[in-house]
Amino acid sequence: MNRRIIIFTIIAMTLALVGLMVIQIYWIKNASSVKEANFRRSVNEAMTKVVMKVERLEKKKALTVYQYESMLNFNRHLPYAEFITKAALDSLISLELNIRGVDTRFEFGVYKPEGNEFLIEKSINYSKELIEKGYAYILFPTDIYTSPEYICIYFPHEKQFLLTELWGMLLISIILIIVVVYSFSYMVTTIFRQKRLSEMKNDFINNMTHEFKTPISTISLACEALSDADMRKSEDTARGYVNMIMDENKRLAGMAEKILQTAVIDKGQLTMRKEAIDMHEVISDVIKNLRIQVEIKDGEFIRRFGAANPRIEGDRVHLTNLVYNLLDNANKYTPKRPMIRVSTENTGNGILLIIEDNGIGISKAEQKKVFDKLYRVPTGNIHEVRGFGLGLSYVKAIVEEHRGKISIESEVGKGSKFKVFLPFVIKE
């Protein structure tokens, strides 16, 4: 897929996602405003009812106890202690609020601005909040002869109460946003992963074509040479061509086997033939096979076998391939005079194999990807080192099958160090 199309699609989807989130937040904000307005309306209705009941109680008391004086001073209310207590007022307010669904803690007080004092107060801890943040309602609105007094009410947990009223909508919105963001992120990641895999697949096919083309061409030329009667007359020449065909055939078989091994690992069909293995013996055999290739480049292997117990449980073939791949890479990625240090030591309940080279090294950004299948560290349009990008992914798979661990330390231009830990016994 064209890179520009991918970027344009991602930008368009990002804008759409942001737009949806903005709309969702806008609706939540509107719903919150509606809930807040409903809350205020319910409080106003409840407190209006409370004011009416308080005034009715005062008049009833005035008519029954101080009938003559009340008739003369109809617009002058009695002292609060004469007709209502703080507890009764608290119960009255609580009842009216609960009827309207306002079920949260509240503080109240009867405030007289003329003396800047509270005549009745539920508690003394919220005097300032009652005046500055509370809802105020005039008591005895028909009393036109005395200075007005107010009943103030304050809700310490008003915001929390409104949020609990909205929790269902908020929870659903948050879940939907998380699902959308996750899906979007997963889709973008998948697109880039598929694009990278497509590029790696193309590179793999190109590399495989070139890798197979060389031995096939060599075998073809050798066969043509052997078909020449003059060439067959010289036994040494004919034997040389036959040996060449055999070597190239082995090379083809090795490359095919490597691809097949990777396919088997991907399908989860890898079979392990467990046996007791001396890792020092395995490493020494691999070094013996690779020594000539290293010495041709004027290099050498430096062995430091420090493990007192080198015997582990594992599959000899796969562990041999593991060591071979690591040592072969150390040689291939060291252009001049490779100094390959191979050391072992016992640590914990297993053996630690360390392979260090003085090669070209790997950048920090690429180190996390070197164990991915088909991945090859980019070196521009030219790959001086042959391969399919399957070696290290195979190594990691074998290490994990043996319940071990592998790590890499590297710096560009200063070589690489691979650490492989293999337990003595494979625990299922």
pLDDT band at 388 (very low <50, low <70, confident <90, very high): very low
Q: Please tell me the distance from the alpha carbon of residue 232 to that of residue 226, in angstroms, as a whole number.
A: 6
Are residues 133 and 142 in contact, defined by beta-carbon separation less than 8 angstroms? Answer: no
Q: How many CA atoms does the CB half-sphere of 42 hold within 13 Å?
A: 19
Is pLDDT at 387 greater than 60 in this prediction? no
pLDDT for the residue 378: 52
- Answer CATH for 275-423 from 3.40.50.1240, 3.20.20.10, 3.20.20.70, 3.30.565.10: 3.30.565.10
For 206-216, the pLDDT digits (tens) are: 656 656 766 77
Please indicate whether residue 326 or residue 144 has the higher confidence score (pLDDT).
326
Are residues 200 and 369 in contact, defined by beta-carbon separation less than 8 angstroms? Answer: no
Is pLDDT at 374 greater than 70 in this prediction? no
pLDDT for the residue 261: 65
pLDDT for the residue 204: 60
Q: Please tell me the distance from the alpha carbon of residue 31 to that of residue 38, in angstroms, as a whole number.
A: 10
Radius of gyration from C-alpha coordinates of the chain: 43
For 117-137, the pLDDT digits (tens) are: 888 888 888 888 898 889 999
pLDDT for the residue 265: 61
For 70-110, the pLDDT digits (tens) are: 444 545 567 887 788 889 999 999 999 999 888 889 999 99
HEC assignment per residue over 39-81: HHHHHHHHHHHHHHHHHHHHHHHHHHHCHHHHHHCCCCCCCHH
Are residues 423 and 274 in contact, defined by beta-carbon separation less than 8 angstroms? Answer: no
Are residues 317 and 384 in contact, defined by beta-carbon separation less than 8 angstroms? Answer: no
What are the C-alpha distances in Å from 425 to residues 275, 326, 398, 404?
A: 10, 22, 14, 10
Domain ranges of the chain: 3-156, 163-266, 275-423
C-alpha 118, offset from chain centre: 57
- Average pLDDT, integer, range 171-193: 82
Contacts of 424 (CB under 8 A, 6+ apart): 309, 311, 312, 313, 349, 350, 351
For 338-359, the pLDDT digits (tens) are: 999 999 999 888 999 999 999 8
Q: Please tell me the distance from the alpha carbon of residue 327 to that of residue 289, in angstroms, as a whole number.
A: 11
Please indicate whether residue 110 or residue 193 has the higher confidence score (pLDDT).
110
Which range has the worst mean pLDDT, 111-115, 167-171, 178-182, 198-202? 198-202
Q: Which helix (H) or strand (E) holds 229?
A: helix 229-233
Q: Which residue has the tokens 């202690």?
A: 81
For 250-302, the pLDDT digits (tens) are: 767 766 766 666 666 656 656 678 889 999 999 998 898 888 888 888 899 99
pLDDT for the residue 71: 47
Nearest to 263 by CA among 198, 303, 204: 204
User: Fold for domain 163-266?
Assistant: Helix Hairpins (1.10.287)
pLDDT for the residue 158: 87
Please indicate whether residue 380 or residue 41 has the higher confidence score (pLDDT).
41
- Average pLDDT, integer, range 366-393: 60
For 399-412, the pLDDT digits (tens) are: 888 889 999 888 88
Is pLDDT at 380 greater than 50 in this prediction? no
Are residues 395 and 406 in contact, defined by beta-carbon separation less than 8 angstroms? Answer: yes
Is pLDDT at 14 greater than 80 in this prediction? yes
- Burial status of residue 184 (CB atoms within 10 A of its CB: 0-12, 13-18, 19 or more): middle
Q: Which residue has the tokens 């650490």?
A: 419
Q: Please tell me the distance from the alpha carbon of residue 340 to that of residue 300, in angstroms, as a whole number.
A: 6
pLDDT band at 389 (very low <50, low <70, confident <90, very high): very low
Q: Please tell me the distance from the alpha carbon of residue 330 to that of residue 332, in angstroms, as a whole number.
A: 6
What are the C-alpha distances in Å from 27 to residues 14, 34, 161, 164, 177?
A: 20, 10, 19, 17, 13
What are the C-alpha distances in Å from 336 to residues 11, 298, 384?
A: 47, 7, 13
Q: Please tell me the distance from the alpha carbon of residue 47 to that of residue 153, in angstroms, as a whole number.
A: 9
Q: Which residue has the tokens 């405003």?
A: 33
pTM of the full structure = 0.49
